[in-house]
Amino acid sequence: MAKTLPQKNIRALGIDPGLAATGYAVVEALIKGGNLSKWGSIKTSSKKTQPLRLQEIYLEIDGLINKWSPSLLVIEDIYVLDKFPKAAIQLGEVVGVIQLAAQNNMVETLRIRPTEVKSCLTGNGRASKINVSDSVKRIFSVKKDIKPDHASDAAALALVGLSRKGYFNF
């Protein structure tokens, strides 16, 4: 049995986590179609201590949640190359503070692998960032580039999350 599309607008906050730059995008599944409402990146300075950087990410995500009231927060699942194990720990900490912000605001979270996003939007699990960005721009009829790349990835995550939940067809 197919899921029915929403009878009201449903909002998702997509997050591409990173300690230096965390991309975000607010996507709305409308009764007819969708809207890419806001996107950007939370940048933290390497000159700050890691706890301060994590706090900055937490506070920004908390602010986005309070401003946009998403029903769903979609975050990229952690993947790291074997030769960079420290990066996995850092990403885990970033994901942890993002999930804490979602939990403190009672927002459902969903984690999606990058290959799933690429496959859903382009038909190729190894698609380039440009291919993913082009798909997002086409789906939302956005003419200008969605920059930085982390924001475009976050929009793609939100789209796939809304689709997986049955709120958006593309």
DSSP string, 5-26: PPSS-EEEEEEE--SSEEEEEE
Q: How far apart, in Å, are the Cα atoms of 6 and each of 11, 161, 164?
A: 11, 14, 13
Domain containing 142 equals 10-164
Q: What are phi and psi of 105, to 5 degrees?
A: -105, 10
The CATH number covering residue 102 comes to: 3.30.420.10
> In this predicted model, what pLDDT tens digit does every residue of 2-55 receive, in sequence order?
455 545 679 999 999 999 999 999 999 987 778 999 999 999 999 999 999 999
Whole-model pTM?
0.91
On whether residue 2 sits in a domain, the answer given is no
On whether residue 170 sits in a domain, the answer given is no
Q: What DSSP string runs through 20-74?
A: SEEEEEEEEE-SSSEEEEEEEEEE--TTS-HHHHHHHHHHHHHHHHHHH--SEEE
Q: What is residue 3's predicted lDDT score, i.e. its pLDDT?
A: 52
> In this predicted model, what pLDDT tens digit does every residue of 116-147 receive, in sequence order?
999 999 988 888 989 999 999 999 989 899 99
Total number of domains in the chain: 1
On whether residue 159 sits in a domain, the answer given is yes
- Kindly indicate the confidence band of residue 65, based on its pLDDT and cuts at 50, 70 and 90: very high
On whether residue 1 sits in a domain, the answer given is no
